[in-house]
Structure 1
Amino acid sequence: MLMILHSLEQSAVVRSISEAIAQLGSMKWPLLICSMLALALLLDRLFHLLVTRTHVSNQRMHRGLKNFQGKRQTDSQLAVWGAKKSLSRQLAELLHHHRDIPRDQREDLASIWIDKQERRLGTGLNILALISVVSPLLGLLGTVLGLMEMFSKIASTSQAINPSMLAQGLGMALMTTIVGLFIAIPALVGFHTLKLWRNHKIAFIVMLANQINLVIDGVGIATTSDSEIESERSAPIELAYSAVAGERRD
């Protein structure tokens, strides 16, 4: 009996969803495509940002910078920066491998690498922003087309027009606007959240690249605390690289 009631409930839910989709009219497929694409991009970018490790504790950073004072480093010494796929480890290996080249060339090399990582982490975010703009416009277009169809039917009928007929037609016409907003709001929030998260990771890598280059050049080891490192990432300090696009500053 419970299974029968459950199947009836499911069929009722499916039926209501299909009826709601049918009310979208000619805007049904564009809105469905926007919703599926936005969901796929949100899940994909969230997964990539979760698995991309960048942060290193202050203690491990101090040990890693101290190791850079030597000419040669073993894999075990480089492992202090994290796993092989960690951006901090990749950056440390890159700068260690090219430590003997002039500083300007080393900074250019790091800038190119940081820019590549920023573009990789931000893949699809612009499409997500575009969906957040286009979806409400598609919903508004569907509303206008629905109103035009409703008034055309009213003009062609010879019966008396009652409020229930108008209410039903308006409800169907406004459904596209509601669906467009339901797609646009999560897409817009997700775009800005993922972009801030991406910039936070890139800012840490920029700070780390500058510290490693200073140690390679014999300036010394930074011994700041985690809170001071956090403030450095948010403060407008003149660094060798830009935290936004990985560009060198003169």
Structure 2
Amino acid sequence: MISYFLSQFGLVGYLMLLVSLILTAICIERCITFIFLPRFKSLQIESLITLAGQGDSDAIKNRIDNTSSKLSKYIAPLLLESKDIAENAVSIMMRKERQRLQQPLVWLNFFAVVSPMLGLLGTIWSMSHSFKALAESLNGSGLEHMILYLSEAMYATALGIILALFSMFTFYCFRHYSESYLFRAEEVLNDLALGLERQKIANKTQYLTDNLYVKKQA
């Protein structure tokens, strides 16, 4: 069937087949990428905040080392760097991650626009043959061919629309998932930064309270 389709539509058929293969490859690659994204767990973040509050730098480093490398690259700056440096580092990493997740999706949007055009070209290709068959039908020999070419024109249009809808659907699904993931990551990292800041303030307050108590006792 594929060989018949390619023989009937020529270059347009090969282009449609190529677009189908590229769309399949992009979808598989994006699915694999999203499956292996690091997960942000609340209990893991809370334990890191507790360790940071205790001021045990060795325990913090051990916990980071035991965390997956993809996740630790986001968490490490918040625990080991100053607030300003950590916020800048995390902001840069999140921008790079957004670009990494969404840049390939541009091709899905591109094919969503191009596919109907390819379907239209296939329709025009078949319609040109049908008109040729119509001319032959005037002599009583081409009516059957004309009907065949008209049906093929409809198939070309339908295939182009299907490819466009598939491209658009997968584009918005992957885009929504990536935005949801990045929002969750930013939310967790902000909670971690806020928790660390509160822990520092609490430790400082406790330190001042203890010193004041010692002075009163003296």
**2:166 equivalent in structure 1:** 186
Q: What do residues 203-249 of structure 1 show as CA deviations (whole Å, max 9, x unaligned)?
A: 111012211221332368xxxxxxxxxxxxxxxxxxxxxxxxxxxxx
Identity %: 20
TM-score of the pair, normalised by structure 1: 0.70
The 8 Å contact of residues 130 and 147 in structure 2, kept in 1 or not, is answered as: no
Structure 1 counterpart of 2:48, from 52, 64, 79: 64
Structure 2 counterpart of 1:164, from 134, 141, 144: 144
**2:27 equivalent in structure 1:** 42
TM-score of the pair, normalised by structure 2: 0.79
Structure 2 CA distance for aligned equivalents of residues 201 and 217 of structure 1 = 24
Q: 1:105 to 1:79 in 2, by over 3 A?
A: closer
Q: When the two structures are aligned, how many residues end up with a matched partner?
A: 199
Say yes or no: does 1:112 pair with 2:97.
no
Structure 2 CA distance for aligned equivalents of residues 154 and 70 of structure 1 = 87
**2:79 equivalent in structure 1:** 96
Structure 2 CA distance for aligned equivalents of residues 26 and 147 of structure 1 = 16
Q: 1:94 is matched by which residue type in structure 2?
A: P
Structure 2 CA distance for aligned equivalents of residues 60 and 104 of structure 1 = 23
Deviation at 1:91, TM superposition (A): 1.0
The 8 Å contact of residues 127 and 150 in structure 2, kept in 1 or not, is answered as: yes
**1:121 equivalent in structure 2:** 101
Q: Secondary structure at the match of 2:12?
A: helix
Q: Secondary structure at the match of 1:55?
A: coil
Q: Secondary structure at the match of 2:53?
A: coil
Deviation at 1:198, TM superposition (A): 0.9
Q: How do 1:89-238 and structure 2 match up within 5 A?
A: 89-98=72-81, 100=82, 103-155=83-135, 158-160=138-140, 164-218=144-198
Q: Secondary structure at the match of 1:68?
A: helix
Q: Which of structures 1 and 2 has the bigger CA Rg? A: 2
**1:74 equivalent in structure 2:** 60
The 8 Å contact of residues 136 and 143 in structure 2, kept in 1 or not, is answered as: no
Give the unaligned 5+ runs of structure 1.
1-15, 221-250
Higher share in helix: 2
The 8 Å contact of residues 139 and 179 in structure 1, kept in 2 or not, is answered as: yes
Deviation at 1:124, TM superposition (A): 0.8
Deviation at 1:142, TM superposition (A): 1.5
Q: 1:212 to 1:55 in 2, by over 3 A?
A: closer
**2:69 equivalent in structure 1:** 84
Q: 1:84 is matched by which residue type in structure 2?
A: S
